[in-house]
Amino acid sequence: MKNTIRVERAISNITQAQLGEQVGVSRQAINTIENGKYIPSTTLAIKIAKFFNKKVEDIFIIEVGD
């Protein structure tokens, strides 16, 4: 699964640590999600999307074969 978290963070001018604090996870968790090494829970995906005022499907993109 791909995501646009890095792009959204750049637009919002916030760090991984700041995003993590806002959604209740560590900077390392945001890093692993951004790099596609970890797929977040539904709850966390919703929190991230809400933070950026976007729909979950605008942030997280399922690739063919996933």
Predicted TM-score of the model (pTM): 0.93
* Structural domains for the chain: 2-61 (1.10.260.40)
Q: What is the mean pLDDT of the chain?
A: 96
Pairing relationship of beta strands 2-3 and 60-61 according to DSSP bridges: antiparallel
Burial degree of 54 (CB within 10 A; 0-12, 13-18, 19+): middle
pLDDT in tens, 9-63: 999 999 999 999 999 999 999 999 999 999 999 999 999 999 999 999 999 998 8
pLDDT above 90: percentage of residues in the chain? 91
